[in-house]
Amino acid sequence: MRRNDILLRFALLIILAILIFLVNPNFGKPANLINILRQGALLYILAIGMTIVILTGGIDLSNGAVLALSSCVAAIAMERGLPIMVGIIISLAIGMICGFVNGVLVTQVKIPPFITTFAMMYFARGLAYIFSHGRIIYGFEKSFRFIGTGNIFGIPMPVIFSLLLLFIFYIVLEYTSFGVNIYAVGSNSESSRLVGINVKKVRIIAYLLSGFLSAFAGLIYTARLNAAEPVVGASFPLDAIAAVIIGGTSIVGGEGNLFGSAIGVLICTVIINGMNLMGISSLWQQFVIGSIILIIITTQTYTKSAKINIPILRSRKIESFEK
């Protein structure tokens, strides 16, 4: 069933790409395709964290603000002359702390994830303004900017990072105990507790990873723009959630995967890129993405209910034979 869901989305992606290509052949140029990947890379790094959190049955509305906070702090550290590595480490640590606090509030104080991460969004945003005094911090060393603007064999660094993270987290989710526990906690937290899984620990680590990935995305973003400012990323949480949902991850947790989210991100990016190429006002972008969400989830629900019916019919038949 899961494979079909992925195929459905992949087919949609291909159809969209072909349609856009037919209208504007410029879409198919290698430079543009690489551009799409680069545009999608940042969102995808956030989407990985969001997927993990949503798989555990949570949500993270704070990733944009955490991104702003951690990148501002890294920028200030580097501005003050600290080594690049120190800046990077501080930034990642701040992301992880924010994620950890989210996780603790959700699991220990038992505040719903929605409110916890919404509060964290305000808090991190406020801190970002306080630390940066509301100004744009710009001008970084070349070696730092490489992680945002560099290429290896013509492939932009952000794309390389996002592929690397996809690989690592795919292995983590599919081939480690932690990954299985994530799915278990998201699909039935009480059963997971009864078999001895430390449900709280799994949830906390999920938020911590999301915080880490937000900070990581923040570094790439800062390096690419050569600037850090406290206002960035207000729309990132919803963009990431939209991409994850389009990618087929269930909003109640326990179902979905990172390939789905990758396709979700690509669908969003291809639409935006295609609309730009066709000269359609960017004001329509959200309209199209919203429609895609509704259409794809409706289609999936119908195909799923059609499939669920079959085994029920089959087992009924067997029972009647036995009698």
Partner 1 sequence: MTGHILLKGENIKKSYGHVDALKGVDFTLKKGEILALVGDNAAGKSTLVKILSGAISLDFGKIFIDEKEEHISNPAASRALGIETVYQQFALVDNLTVYCNVFLGRLINKKILGGIPILDKRKMQDESWKVINLMGIKFDSVKRKVSDLSGGQRQAVAIARALLFNPRIIILDEPTSGLAVKEVNKIQDIILNFKDKGISVIFISHRLESIFATADRIMVLRSGVKVMDEENDKITSKDVVEKMFAIEHKK
Partner 2 sequence: MNLKNILLHSSALAILALGMSLVMLTNGIDLSVGSLVSLVSIVTAGLLGSKFGVLFAIFSGILTASFFGIFSGIIISRIKLPPFIVTLGTMVITASLALVLCGGETLYWEKNWFNTIALKYFFGVPILFCIVSIFFILIMLLIHYTSFGSYIYGIGSNEEALRLCGVKVKLYKTLVYLLSGCFASVAGIMLTSRIASGNPIIGMGYEFEAIAAAAIGGISFIGGKGNPAFAFLSAVTITMLTNGLGLMGFTTPWQYCGIGAILVFGMFLNRILAKVSLPER
149 or 188: CB nearest partner 1 = 188
Q: CA 89 to CA 66: how far, in whole Å?
A: 15
Shortest approach of partner 1 to residue 250 CB, angstroms? Answer: 9
Q: Tell me if 108 contacts partner 1 by CB under 8 A.
A: no
Handedness of CA 218, 222, 227, 232 (dihedral sign): negative
DSSP 125-175: HHHHHHHHTTPPEE---HHHHHHHH-EETTEEHHHHHHHHHHHHHHHHHHH
Site string for partner 1, 194-213 (x = CB under 8 A): xxxxx---------------
Q: Tell me if 193 contacts partner 1 by CB under 8 A.
A: yes
188 or 286: CB nearest partner 1 = 188
Q: CA 7 to CA 307: how far, in whole Å?
A: 15
Shortest approach of partner 1 to residue 196 CB, angstroms? Answer: 4
Q: Tell me if 89 contacts partner 1 by CB under 8 A.
A: no
- Residues forming contacts to partner 2 in the complex (CB under 8 A) are 61, 105, 109-112, 114-116, 118-130, 134, 238, 241-242, 245, 251-252, 281, 283-291, 293-294, 297-298, 301
Angle of helix 84-107 relative to helix 63-79, nearest 10 degrees? 150
Could you tell me which of 11, 4, 28 has the C-alpha nearest to residue 273?
A: 28
191 or 309: CB nearest partner 1 = 191
Q: Which does 151 bind (CB under 5 to 8 A by kind): partner 2, partner 1, none?
A: none
Q: Which does 192 bind (CB under 5 to 8 A by kind): partner 1, partner 2, none?
A: partner 1
Which residues are within 8 A (CB) of 286 and not within 5 positions of it... i.e. 6 or more apart?
Answer: none
294 or 313: CB nearest partner 2 = 294
Burial bucket for residue 320 (CB in 10 Å: 0-12, 13-18, 19+): exposed
Q: Which two tokens stand for residue 124?
A: 């991190």
Q: Tell me if 235 contacts partner 1 by CB under 8 A.
A: no
Q: CA 67 to CA 65: how far, in whole Å?
A: 5
Q: Which does 191 bind (CB under 5 to 8 A by kind): partner 1, partner 2, none?
A: partner 1
Q: Which does 177 bind (CB under 5 to 8 A by kind): partner 2, partner 1, none?
A: partner 1
# residues contacting partner 1 (CB under 8 A): 24
- Residues between 156 and 185 that touch partner 1 (CB under 8 A): 171, 175-177, 179-180, 183-184
Q: Which two tokens stand for residue 74?
A: 């890294």
108 or 191: CB nearest partner 1 = 191
DSSP 232-260: TTTTHHHHHHHHHHHTT--TTSS---HHH
Q: Which does 212 bind (CB under 5 to 8 A by kind): partner 1, partner 2, none?
A: none
Residue with tokens 């600037």: 227
Per CB under 8 A, residues contacting partner 1 are 171, 175-177, 179-180, 183-184, 186-188, 190-198, 254-255, 311, 315
